[in-house]
């Protein structure tokens, strides 16, 4: 078994796509008005419009409702990413901090409230 992708369901595909393009620097691979898959360095991340979830059953998927998953991105320099992202990110959870397990992290939410953790081993 191999995890293929993480798909975020949203009511605004263009907004969330633009956010992740700015945050990750990744370009769109597969892209339509209702579905986007990213190329490297965010390969494995996809965004789908809320209507895409209806194939699983009515009410099974709800945009902007996640409070249980965290997207982790390893970066070279957490502090540089923090400075770069400060004008882009509206909802900061944690400024640069060294965690007890030794990673330096920043934590923030995307426009739909999904939690993002960027980390690097602390020096």
Identify the pLDDT of residue 66.
Answer: 86
Number of domains in the chain: 2
pTM of the model: 0.91
- Predicted local distance difference test score (pLDDT) of residue 53: 67
26 with 60, same domain: the answer is: yes
Give the domain CATH number at 90: 3.10.180.10
Least confident of 12-21, 23-32, 61-70: 61-70
Q: Which residues pair with 115 in a beta bridge?
A: 70, 109
Same domain (yes/no): 50, 79: no
Specify the pLDDT at position 55. Answer: 76
pLDDT number for residue 76: 97
% of the chain exceeding 90 in pLDDT:
76
By residue range, what is the domain housing residue 39? 1-65
Q: Are residues 46 and 18 in the same domain?
A: yes
Which region, left, alpha or beta, applies to residue 102 given φ > 0 means left and ψ of -120 to 50 means alpha? left
Best CA proximity match to 64, nearest among 23, 19, 96, 94: 19
Residue 25 has pLDDT above 80, yes or no: yes
Q: Count H helices and E strands in the chain, helices first.
A: 2, 8
Lowest-confidence segment of 50-59, 72-81, 100-109 by average pLDDT: 50-59
SS3 7: strand
Q: What is the pLDDT of residue 121?
A: 94
CA distance 75 to 121: 9
The pLDDT assigned to 111 comes to 97
Query: Is the distance from CB of 15 to CB of 21 less than 8 angstroms?
Result: no
* Domain end among 30, 46, 65: 65
């Amino acid at each position: 078994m191999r995890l293929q992708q993480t798909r975020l369901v949203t009511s605004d595909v263009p907004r969330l796509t633009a956010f992740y393009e700015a945050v990750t620097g990744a370009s769109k691979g597969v892209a339509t008005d209702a579905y986007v898959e990213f190329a490297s360095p965010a390969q494995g991340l996809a965004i789908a419009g809320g209507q895409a979830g209806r194939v699983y059953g009515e009410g099974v998927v709800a945009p902007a409702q996640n409070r249980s998953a965290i997207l982790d991105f390893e970066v070279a320099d957490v502090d540089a990413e923090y400075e770069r992202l400060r004008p882009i990110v509206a909802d900061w959870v944690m400024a640069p901090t060294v965690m007890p397990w030794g990673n330096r992290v920043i934590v923030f939410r995307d426009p739909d409230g999904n939690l993002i953790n960027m980390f690097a081993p602390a020096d």
